[in-house]
């Protein structure tokens, strides 16, 4: 249930209680008791660091193999190196590998090369970029047009956290209890869903310092029109507890009641919002500052629906009293991220396992309830305890999962497994997400380089537009409990006839295919180069024979048209790719046209569209 609240007609005290916030480097730990007096100086003794037992990938393998044996499951064989380098690169940094990197990895004889590849990917700047995109999508959704939400500042905040490998509990703490200014404001900041980081605001002389803003507060500000929804979203994402159903009524089959929801939601609303920019926003981000605040009761009238929440005494889902006046949200963050919280660490471990293995221990990944039991709960608990014991280190968790036998299995259907593959005895095919699909197309075709050679301006804006289009057409909810991927006709047509696919597959200056053919090599080498470029593997003997024959026997191609059917646009003319494509003549060289057919075919193959 949502309420349309005109924030201009709300008293400042009430506004303070309704709009959430976030804070850069905000301390969210419980207040410690006064320190005891220091003892007199003694001889220095260096204490050994505490020994933290590590759960190794081999131990996880033992548990999985025992489960397979118990069920009579015959696991799939290990995937080959070409499959692994593509899979790991997509999962960890959100793109396909470069042709040279894929070839080098497959040729490498080092038995430790898979582990080393994961380390290289985790150290790459693309790691932070990918997980910024992932969590921006999870937390903010596809589009937020509230005039106080600075999406660029929020994405920058996320990126800095993943660059620093901030412990997960600290990151969430800083987000939940954040305070500070939301944005630099002004004409340089535009409201949009997938702003490229190159458009992030820069610090200028004489202006407010970037150190004075806290991009994290924008997550809370996203809920300004329905602040009661913040608790349900945070509970689902960070705890895996779907309490939002109790917002309107007591849950019929679960333990959560309306009072539970109201007490938790009350804890999120102990804040105030100071408006720094008055007047109309003019399409720009309006600056506000969020501060911690005590209990605030709503006025009568349009705010009556919020009264039960604001009057409720703040409490956690386990009944822990959180009411601390202005420090209530700090207390909430401390409870939420505590090692003793039964949901917090378990939720992120389950989510990350689902990301890398195609299905979590609990499915959907954000529904950890008693009536939705986990597969292999003891293993989930063991990985969770290890994650907590090692300081909620996300990169360490990725290393552990990526080194398991299950992650290195092929997606072969020859494995004898149950229909749902509940014990991960083969790798689950997963369609690429919108950002991954766009990155893969740009990487395979070098369309961006071709656009720059064609002197196309505002390539970042074009990418933004393409991401929005891909999001609308290709987004597959990873949390949905689906057994098979069913692509729509619109999705198929977008790939088969899309501007980016058709433009990138052409032999025009700057594209990858033009670069490959400029080497003046034999057809066999050209065909192999296209396969490595698009699919990150060499062609099979049959594929090589078929395509080299096709190229050698090529005759004059039929006239080509650029773009084909595409979804109607509500306003504006064709995008830059369409305008540019309309100016490109058809390919008349039969050999080049044959290679274009090869490139286009591989871009539209299921092998390219899926992570396998």
Note the pLDDT tens digit of each residue in 118-131. Answer: 999 999 999 999 99
Band of residue 50 on the pLDDT scale cut at 50, 70, 90: low
User: 14 with 61, same domain?
Assistant: no
Q: Is residue 110 domain-shared with residue 155, that is, in the same domain? A: no
pLDDT in tens, 333-391: 999 999 999 999 999 999 999 999 999 999 998 888 888 899 999 999 999 999 999 99
pLDDT in tens, 524-571: 999 999 999 999 999 999 999 999 999 999 876 655 544 433 344 444
pLDDT tens digits, one per residue of 320-330: 999 999 999 99
Residues 193 and 245 in one domain: yes
How confident is the model at residue 415, as a pLDDT? Answer: 66
- From 316, 336, 356, the end of a domain falls on 336
Answer whether residue 304 is part of any domain.
yes
Look at residue 40 and tell me if it is in a domain: no
- Whether residues 81 and 179 share a domain: the answer is no
Q: How confident is the model at residue 96 (pLDDT cuts 50, 70, 90)?
A: very high
> Contact at 8 Å (CB) between 73 and 418?
yes
410: in domain: no
Q: Please check whether residue 409 lies inside any domain of the structure.
A: no
Mean pLDDT is lowest, of 73-82, 232-241, 422-431, 570-579, for 570-579
- Note whether 179 and 236 are same-domain residues: yes
Q: Are 241 and 174 in contact (CB under 8 A)?
A: no
Would you state the structure tokens that stand for residue 172, as one six-digit string?
């969430």
**pLDDT given for residue 201 in this prediction:** 45
**Of 305, 320, 336, which closes a domain?**
336
In this prediction, residue 495 carries a pLDDT of 56
What pLDDT band is residue 8 in, cutting at 50, 70 and 90?
very low
Asked whether 312 and 247 are in contact (CB, 8 A), the reply is: no
**Same-domain pairing of 588 and 452:** yes
Are 281 and 371 found together in one domain?
no
Interval 65-86: pLDDT, tens = 999 999 888 999 999 999 999 9
The domain boundary, picked from 384, 402, 420, lies at: 402
Residue 389 within a domain:
yes
Contact criterion met (CB below 8 Å) for 567 and 495: no
Range with the lowest mean pLDDT among 242-246, 399-403, 558-562? 558-562
Residue 165 lies inside a defined structural domain of this protein: yes
Residues 199 and 156 in one domain: yes
Asked whether residue 304 falls in the same domain as residue 381, the answer is no
pLDDT score, position 52: 59
In the chain, the number of structural domains is: 3
| Residue-wise pLDDT tens digits, 458-476 | 777 777 677 666 665 555 4
Taking the model in full, what pTM does it have? Answer: 0.83
How far is Cα 612 from Cα 608, in angstroms, rounded to an integer? Answer: 9
CA–CA distance, 410 with 568 (Å, rounded to integer): 39
Range of the domain at 394: 57-117+343-402
Confidence of residue 405 (pLDDT cuts 50, 70, 90): very high
**Residue 39, in any domain of the structure:** no
**Given a cut of 70, is residue 253 above it in pLDDT?**
no
Q: Are residues 280 and 349 in the same domain?
A: no
- Answer yes or no: do 180 and 111 share one domain: no
Tokens for 237, please give them.
């994402």
At 599, is the secondary structure helix, strand, or coil?
helix
3-class secondary structure, 289: strand
Q: Is the pLDDT of residue 434 over 50?
A: yes
Whether 372 and 502 share a structural domain: no
């Amino acid at each position: 249930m949502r309420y349309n609240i005109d924030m201009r007609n709300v008293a400042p005290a009430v506004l303070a209680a309704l709009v959430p916030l976030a804070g850069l480097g905000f301390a969210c730990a419980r207040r410690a008791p006064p320190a005891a007096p220091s003892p007199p100086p003694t001889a220095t003794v260096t204490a050994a660091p505490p020994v933290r037992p590590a759960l190794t990938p081999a131990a996880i393998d033992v548990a999985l193999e025992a489960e397979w044996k118990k069920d009579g499951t015959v696991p799939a064989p290990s995937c080959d190196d070409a499959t692994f380098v593509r899979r790991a690169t997509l999962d960890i940094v959100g793109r396909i590998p470069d042709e040279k990197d894929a070839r080098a990895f497959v040729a490498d004889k080092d038995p430790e090369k898979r582990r080393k590849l994961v380390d290289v990917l985790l150290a790459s700047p693309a790691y932070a970029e990918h997980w910024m995109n992932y969590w921006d999508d999870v937390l903010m959704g596809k589009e937020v047009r509230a005039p106080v939400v600075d999406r660029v500042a929020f994405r920058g905040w996320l990126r800095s956290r993943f660059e620093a490998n901030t412990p997960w509990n600290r990151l969430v703490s800083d987000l939940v209890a954040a305070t500070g200014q939301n944005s630099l404001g002004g004409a340089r900041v535009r409201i949009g869903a997938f702003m490229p980081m190159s458009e992030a605001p820069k610090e200028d002389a004489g202006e407010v310092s970037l150190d004075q803003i806290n991009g994290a507060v924008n997550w809370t500000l996203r809920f300004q029109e329905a602040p009661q929804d913040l608790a349900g979203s945070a509970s689902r994402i960070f705890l895996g507890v779907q309490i939002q159903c109790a917002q309107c009524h007591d849950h019929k089959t679960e333990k959560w009641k309306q009072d539970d929801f109201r007490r938790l939601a009350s804890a999120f609303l102990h804040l105030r919002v100071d408006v720094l920019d008055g007047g109309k926003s003019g399409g720009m981000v309006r600056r506000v500052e969020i501060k911690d605040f005590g209990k605030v009761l709503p006025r009568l009238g349009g705010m009556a629906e919020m009264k039960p929440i604001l009057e409720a005494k703040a409490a956690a889902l386990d009944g822990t009293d959180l009411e601390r006046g202005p420090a209530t949200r700090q207390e909430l963050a401390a409870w939420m991220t505590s090692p003793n919280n039964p949901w917090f660490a378990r939720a992120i471990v389950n989510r990350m396992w689902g990301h890398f293995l195609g299905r979590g221990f609990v499915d959907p990944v954000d529904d950890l309830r008693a009536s939705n039991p986990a597969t292999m709960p003891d293993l989930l608990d063991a990985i969770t305890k290890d994650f907590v014991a090692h300081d909620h280190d996300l990169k360490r968790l990725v290393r552990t999962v990526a080194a398991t036998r299950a992650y290195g299995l092929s997606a072969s259907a020859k494995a004898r497994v149950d229909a749902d593959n509940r014990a991960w005895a083969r790798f689950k095919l997963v369609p690429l997400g919108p950002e991954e699909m766009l990155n893969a197309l740009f990487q395979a075709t070098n369309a961006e380089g071709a656009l720059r050679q064609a002197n196309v301006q505002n390539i970042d804006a074009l990418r933004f537009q393409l991401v929005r289009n891909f999001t609308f057409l290709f987004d597959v909810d990873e949390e949905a409990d689906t057994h098979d991927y069913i692509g729509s006709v619109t999705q198929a047509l977008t790939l088969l006839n899309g501007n980016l696919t058709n433009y990138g597959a052409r032999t025009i200056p700057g594209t990858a295919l033009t670069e490959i053919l400029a080497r003046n090599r034999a057809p066999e080498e050209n065909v192999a180069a296209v396969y490595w470029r698009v699919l990150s593997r060499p062609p099979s003997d049959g594929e090589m024979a078929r395509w080299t024959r096709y190229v050698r026997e090529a005759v004059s191609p039929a006239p080509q048209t650029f773009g084909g059917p595409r979804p109607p646009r509500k306003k504006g003319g064709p995008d830059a790719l369409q305008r540019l494509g309309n100016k490109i003549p058809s390919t008349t060289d039969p050999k080049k046209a044959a290679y274009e057919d090869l490139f286009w075919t591989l871009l539209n193959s299921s092998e390219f569209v899926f992570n396998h």
